[in-house]
Structures are given as structure tokens and as C-alpha cells.
Amino acid sequence: MWWKGIILIWVIGVTNFTVMDRVEAYSEELPTKYNADIRHKSYEEVLIFELGPKIMNVLKKEYDNYLFGGAHIIPMRKSDSFPQQEFILEGRVTKQDSSSDIVRITFKASTNGYKVSDFHVIQNVNI
């Protein structure tokens, strides 16, 4: 079942790549900002997908019935390289009573992949 998600992400990446001008996409020059942004966003999507079970385990400890969305990565250090050694994943948790929390989960790289090093709610939003 997990492989369907990988295939979906791959299809989205291929679609984004083929929409670009082929000359620009295959040029030997340094990648344009547009190409770098697409590549960075694709890495981010794959990383968030792969960390899904760890994210859900952390959120299960704090919330009973919730939806998680709007996830994005905030790097700890200014760097264009991927993967990062340490980063913050920020997203919105919508609870059953329709109130929302903005949460941040800090991940650090280890020999067994990424591990959660910190979790906190940064903002409570009532809808």
C-alpha cells in the first residue's frame, strides 16, 4: 500500500518536470531558480510522506481525533542542500471541535533515519 504513495509522488514529479521547457530542463548550465524550487519542493513532499508514521505517532500522544495538514519544512540552518541534518516540520492540526493548532515537530538525523527531538504547539487558532 505504501508504494502507491511513492508512485503518486513520482508521477507528480515527472509531470512537473515535463511541463517545463525541455531545453531549460536539460541544459548543462546551473539550474535556474525555478528548477531548484521544483526540486526542493519535491524533496520536501517525499520527506514529509516518509515521515508520516512518525508524525502521526507524535500527534496521537497529544490529540485524540484530529486532521493534520498544511505541512511544510522549515530548515534550522540556511542551506540549499537536501537532506538537512536537522529541521522543523510545521503544520496545522484541526481538532474535532473545529479549533486548530499550529504545531512544530523538530527532527534530527540519526543512523536509523530521522528521530523526533521536540514537539510543541506554537499557536492555537479558533475557527
Contacts of 6 (CB under 8 A, 6+ apart): 49
pLDDT for residue 94 is more than 80: yes
Contact 64, 92 (CB under 8 A): no
In one letter, which amino acid is 2?
Answer: W
Residue 76 CA to residue 117 CA, distance in Å, equals 13
Model pTM score: 0.65
- pLDDT, position 33: 60
Average pLDDT over residues 88-115: 89
> 17-37 pLDDT, tens per residue?
555 545 555 555 555 666 667
> Bigger pLDDT: 67 or 127?
67
> Bigger pLDDT: 70 or 4?
70
DSSP, residue by residue, 68-112: EEEEEEEESS----SS-SEEEEEEEEEETTSEEEEEEEEEEEETT
